[in-house]
Each structure stands twice: as C-alpha cells, then as structure tokens.
Amino acid sequence: MEEPRNYGHQHHLLLLNEDQLIVADCSMCGVKVSTPCFSCAQDCGFYLHKVCAEPPLELNHPFHPHHPLLLMQNAPYSSGLYICNLCHLKGNKFVYHCSCDLDFHIKCALFTFNISENHLKELEHVALQHLLICPKSGDRELEDGAKCFLCCEPLANYTYFSLDCGFNLHKKCAKLSFKLNHVCHRKHPLVLQFNSEQFSCKICGETSGKGLGFIYGCSPCKFAAHLKCVSAALDLVIGDKRHEHPFSLFPRGSSFICDACGIEGSYASYICCTCNIMVHKKCTSLPRIIKSKWHDHHLFHKYFLRIEDFRVLDCIMCNYEVSTDYGSYYCSECDVILHVKCAMKDKDSYEIVENEDEVPNESSIIVIERNNAGEATKVTHFMHMHNLMLGPFVGGYENSCEGCMLPITDPFYYCTECVFFLHKACAELPKMKNVWRHRCREPLALISYKGIRCEQCRQISNTFAYECSECEGQICLRCVIALTPGARTCLKHEHPLFFYRDYKGQCNACGFTTRWAGGAFCCKDCNFVLHLQCFSLPITVRHKCDEHLLSLTNHDDNSYSENYYCDICEKSRHPNRWFYHCAKCDTSAHVDCVLEKYPFLKLGSIYEETGHPHPLTIVKKKYNYPDCDECSKPCEDVALECSESECKYIVHWNCVAPYPLKWPSRWYM
C-alpha cells in the first residue's frame, strides 16, 4: 500500500498488521486507534486510522450540496475547539468545515459520505469491528438515551452500527433512500440532507432537536420534512380511542388551521369526515381529558366552544386570547380555558385522565346550608371544630383571616363559638392542590399552624399553607391565591393584572427590577408592574405609631412638602414608592417599618417546636420588655413566652426558631 500523506509529520509511516495491540489515539481525529492502522516508523507516537490516512482535502458531500467541506488542521475559531454537528462531541484536531458553520469529525464526515454514496461495504467493515447489538441485550448505555444520528430514535429500538467515535446509526437507516418522491411535495423529489438552515418540518411544524438533524428537503422550494414524518404521513388511516371516528390522510399543498389546536399546518393533514374537522398528525391523539397543575378540576378537550355572550376568553397560562373556533382545553365549572399548545407544552405539568368519573381534589369544606341564591351560608371546615357562618362585613378590620393573616374583608366565614375568621376564598381552597410554580409534580397538602418559610415570597408565617410531601417545600395561602392563574385585582390599580413568568421590568411599588424574581404581575393596558411580594402586601395594618389603621398608599401627593420622611425610623423615603399612611393624623411610614420582621406570625398562637417542656405562646410585648432567657437582651420584637403562668420563660423568636425560620425577608420600600 502506498504511504499516505503525513500532514507535516517528519517521519515515514508504516501500516501495522491486525495482530498487533495498540493503545494510542489517532493524531488526526483524536479517537483511539486499532489495527490495521498507520504508525510512525521512528515510533514517536504518531498514529493514523486507515480511514483518516487519505481523507480528501475537499469533500463534495451529497448531504450538503451547496458548498464543499474543507479539511482543516484546526477549526477556524479562536479556541481551536469545535463540536461535531453529527455526533455532538468536542474536537480540537482536524475538521471538515463549511462556511455554513458546519463542523464534522473526519470519521463522521466520511462515514455519512459512504452512506450517501451507498458504499455499504464500509458499513460492513464497521460492523465487523463493532458487533451488531440486539435491542434485547439490556445495554445500560442504550437505556440512557443514545440515539441514531439519522432518525434520532433510541438506538435500542433497532439493530445498529456503532463507530468508535460515538457515532451511531440504525442498520435500517443506512438503507434510507437518498432521493424519493412524496405525496406532500409532488413538484420535485426530496433529497436526504443536513438541516443546515434549521428549517422546520412542513408536516409536523416543529424544528429538529439537538444539533442540526437530517431532513428530506427540496432546496428550491425550501420544503423540509423530518424522516419520521415522511414515513408517518403515509399512514392513510389513523384510528385512536381518544376520538370516536378514524382520521384519513388528506395530502395538500397549501396551509390549513388545525381544528384541534388552532395552529397552522401545511402539506399533510388528517380529516374526520363525520365531524368535518381537519387536524395535524400529532393532534389525532390529543388526550380528551387531562389533569393540569394549572387548575384544580379536570380539563376537557373541546373542538369548538359556543360562547353565547360573546366574551373573550384568555388562556390562564399565557394570558392571551383563545379562539373558540378551534380546539382548546376547558373547564365548564370555572369557565377556565387553555390553548392546546400551552396545556401540552410541559409533559410534567399534566396527566392524562382515562377515567372520566375520577374525583378531583377534595374540598376543605362541607356545606350544611345554602341560601336562595345557592351560596353556602353554613359550612364545616376540616381545620376547625365548629360550624362556620357566612357573614356580612362586621367588626371593622379588628380581626385577621386565620388562613392568610390578612385583614378580614367581605365575603368571609366566622365562627359563632370562638374567634375564628376565614376569607371565603381561603375556606374554599381544596385539601390537596396543584401549584404550577412548585417544581414537584404531585399536589400539595393543606396544613395549618406550623411555622414555615414560604418558598415564593420568603416570608415566615404560622397560618395555613400548602406543603409538598416530596420535597417538604411550603407555600403560604397569600401566594397560592395570588398565583392562581387568571386575572387578579389590585386595589391600587384600575385594570386587572396577569402573572407573566418571564417578565423583566421595574416594580411600581418598590422600584426594584423583576429580572431575578421569576416573573411579575403586569397590566395589559398600561405599564403597571408588581413583584409577587408587593402584590401580596396588606392593604391596611395596625401599628403602635398611630391609633388608626394605616392604609397602603401608592403615591405621596403632598405638593407642599419638599422632604418626605418615615414617622417611625425618621429617615427619608421616596415619594413614588408605596408606603403606609393615616390620612387623619398625616402619619407616613416605610412598608418595612410598619410590617417589621414577622407580620404573618399569629400572635397568641401556640408554638411547640422548641426544646422547652411547656407549650410556648407567640407574643409581642408593647411595654415592659423582659429579658430573653437565651441572649439576655430585652424582648422588644416577636418572642415566645411559656403558657404556664408559674414558668417565666421567654425568648426571642430568633433565638430558638429553627434555622430556616430565622432572618426574615425584608420589604425594601
């Protein structure tokens, strides 16, 4: 055999026989070599695979007909590193490069070239080196997601070839037609090629996943189709138990709107002549009923919704209008709707419901009596021993809701036998609830009177909350209600607000950016924005600095005043940042100064999670501050006091509380 080009190497190269053991890497591609291979005659550590020994300097690859691939000693990047567009592994040695930003290992480029030229003998040679592996072999690597570079299906599905550079190919894919005619594009034949321009598939409407992927395409028409879609689109009839009639293939050369999801499709649709609907291939198997993290009830797929009062319905996930002329997921009980694409976007956010009679999350209340309007006027709540009555707004703002610790407002339930109040919205929350902002899939359980730090607003409280059995994370009721999808009202703004997960802007309440907050409440009609923490601020509060209630205020319009001060800390405050104000006494104070450290700890409640032998009561001394038994400093802030009158034990909350419940989150306004 003639000696190959040595690519700048100073010594002659020798062909080593197959019976020699080599432990080295190829100097061109960096992959381990095995005989037969070339080695430096002077034994200086230079080795070449046979396939790397005579690569063409310019490769006119059939899968990329627009430009030739040029062999380069280093990738044309400052680092010299590149990632192969086929096997997705890094490289720092010789590379086949195209100005289209395509980079290929030598072996990957030549291997695909042999496939395109139908040189199956080369594949047989690979198979002799790497035995065909049956999918029943139980190979652990296959279970971990290794995929065929052509069809992107798991390798374990079919017999495959495996090259020693991590390049894998199903045996069936090696026999794919390089060129074919297809009913979805009759004008020109489709050619197997790299998807270098990242075209989306005209049949399913999606782009390829990792890397550039392979497609059957027509370059003049800019038509592209995934390999699996070219094959699947030829299924003439599809039957699925989720729709009562079969769907038939209807090839067409123009676009259409899918009746199942409302998204545009083209070239290949499936029709049900009985129902007179036209859908994407993937929409033929949409689940009829799902249980979503975004809603407490089952959601039913509807092809058309008849809205008699001509209302506009917004998707509770993206907050944009849903066209009821096309398919959607809908809850008739709550008048809640989702786009199909939103409901199906995250596989971990929903479950398919096979049994229509499956009971959704159990309610926290049992209705005993109703009025003529159907309102529940007398109920029992599983967190309270007595019956609760639906009452008119009485008693001013003296009492707070046991569920959220915010002031009582109408409508609410109250107990006639003890001091217990619950907002109607808090009482009607279910025992188990899906919270879309929580990362775990399982619903959270309603708990009460346990000290928690809310994972959303970071505030410490001991009222009602939802707790995850998987990660033990907790979310307070204020955040659960605030993050309930749909339009929310804010007393400081005339328009409804919607929560957007990726919004980045400036909060109107505190002035800080929402960039790192994981979303914000925004108004569709103007530039009004609020953090979740600012949205949940109490509208009215009491503080010892004033005998009256202080009201949350969004703008200081005292034009006569040149300087704005806080009447509690006596420091300056920003006139356009929210603050608490008493109009009768003209008292103004920072939000942080009024709410202080623990605004949502229920004073007078029992806290037992300490080492003290007796139950402790949460207190806040107004006068005559006793010394803390732990740090000996006066208990001027929230403290825990022994409920036994003979025991004089008292400690700061921060001295004995578990570490996660120390150092409360502050309100920076």
Instruction: Please determine whether the domains at 58-122 and 237-283 fall in the same fold group of CATH.
Output: yes
Instruction: Give the pLDDT confidence of 390-438 residue by residue, as tens digits.
Output: 887 655 556 788 888 888 877 899 988 888 889 888 998 999 998 888 8
- Higher-confidence residue of 377 and 46: namely 377
Could you give the C-alpha distances from 429 to 363, 379, 403, in angstroms and in order? 7, 13, 10
pLDDT at position 138 is: 44
pLDDT of the residue at 669: 66
Given pLDDT bands bounded at 50, 70 and 90, which one contains residue 142?
very low
> What is the identity of the amino acid at 2?
E
Domain boundaries defined on the chain: 14-52, 58-122, 179-232, 237-283, 289-352, 365-428, 605-661
Q: What is the 3-state secondary structure (H, E, C) of 174-185?
A: HHCCCEEEECCE
Give the pair of three-digit tokens for residue 500: 């957007």
Listed in order, strand segments (DSSP E) in 200-355 are: 214-218, 223-226, 237-238, 247-257, 264-272, 277-279, 289-292, 299-302, 328-331, 336-338, 350-352
R_g of the chain, CA atoms, integer Å: 34
Query: For residue 292, which amino acid is it?
Result: S
Position 129 confidence tier, pLDDT thresholds 50, 70, 90:
very low
Token code pair at residue 145 = 């997601």
Tokens of 222: 């800019």
- Residue 137: strand, helix, or coil: helix
Give the residue among 651, 660, 606, 595 at the shortest CA–CA distance from 460: 660
Task: Find residue 217's DSSP bridge partners.
Answer: 191, 224
- Higher pLDDT pick, 308 / 402: 402
- 646-668 mean pLDDT: 81
Q: What is the pLDDT of residues 62-86, one digit of tens each?
A: 888 888 889 888 888 888 888 888 7
In single-letter form, the type of residue at position 371 comes to: N
pLDDT of residue 137: 41
Q: How confident is the model at residue 208 (pLDDT cuts 50, 70, 90)?
A: low
Q: Which of 217-221, 223-227, 606-610 comes out lowest in average pLDDT?
A: 606-610
The percentage of residues in the chain with a pLDDT greater than 90, rounded to a whole number, is: 10
User: How far, in Å, CA of 63 to CA of 102, rounded?
Assistant: 12
Decide if 139 contacts 59 (C-beta within 8 A): no
> Would you state the CATH architecture of domain 58-122?
2-Layer Sandwich (3.30)
Q: How confident is the model at residue 502 (pLDDT cuts 50, 70, 90)?
A: confident
* Segment 551-564, tens digit of pLDDT: 888 877 765 667 78
| pLDDT band at residue 127 using 50, 70 and 90 as cut-offs | very low
Contacts of 267 (CB under 8 A, 6+ apart): 184, 185, 202, 203, 223, 225, 251, 252, 253
Length of the chain: 669
Please give the Cα distance from 84 to 108 (Å, whole number).
8
Burial 125-146 (b: 16+ CB within 10 A, else e): ebbeeeeebeeeeeeeebeeee
More confident residue, 227 or 278: 278
CATH, domain range 237-283: 3.30.60
**Predicted local distance difference test score (pLDDT) of residue 301:** 92
The DSSP secondary-structure symbol of 147 reads B
pLDDT value, residue 118: 64
Q: Give the pLDDT confidence score for residue 6 in this predicted structure.
A: 57
Asked if 89 contacts 166 with a C-beta cutoff of 8 angstroms, the reply is yes
Based on DSSP, count helices (H) and strands (E) in the chain, helices before strands. Answer: 11, 47
DSSP string, 7-54: TT-SS-EEEEPTTS----B-TTT-SBP-SSEEEETT-SS-EEEHHHHS
CA distance 81 to 465: 51
Going by pLDDT thresholds of 50, 70 and 90, the confidence category of residue 315 is: very high
What pLDDT is recorded for position 337? 93
Residue 190 corresponds to which tokens in the numbers above? Answer: 């489709």
Would strands 168-170 and 638-642 be described as parallel, antiparallel, or unpaired? Answer: unpaired
Examine the pLDDT at 176 and tell me if it is beyond 50. Answer: yes
- pLDDT confidence tier of residue 3, bands split at 50, 70 and 90: low
156, 102 Cβ separation under 8 angstroms: no
pLDDT surpasses 60 at 524: yes
Whole-number pLDDT of residue 122: 53
pLDDT at 5: 61
Lowest mean pLDDT among 188-202, 277-291, 501-515, 593-607: 188-202
- Alpha-carbon gap, residue 25 to 32, rounded angstroms: 4
What is the band of 121 on the pLDDT scale with cuts at 50, 70, 90?
low
Residue 270 has pLDDT above 80, yes or no: yes
- Give dist(CA 42, CA 258) in Å, integer: 68
Burial class (CB in 10 A: 0-12, 13-18, 19+), 232: middle
How confident is the model at residue 465, as a pLDDT? 92
Mean pLDDT of the chain: 80
* 289-352 fold: Wheat Germ Agglutinin (Isolectin 2); domain 1 (3.30.60)
pLDDT for 241 equals: 57
3-class DSSP state of 432: strand
Mean pLDDT to the nearest integer, 523-529: 88
Q: Residue 237: its pLDDT value, please?
A: 65
More confident residue, 279 or 161: 279
pLDDT of residue 131 exceeding 60, the answer is no
Q: What average pLDDT does range 616-638 have in this prediction?
A: 85
For 580-604, the pLDDT digits (tens) are 999 889 899 999 898 888 888 888 8
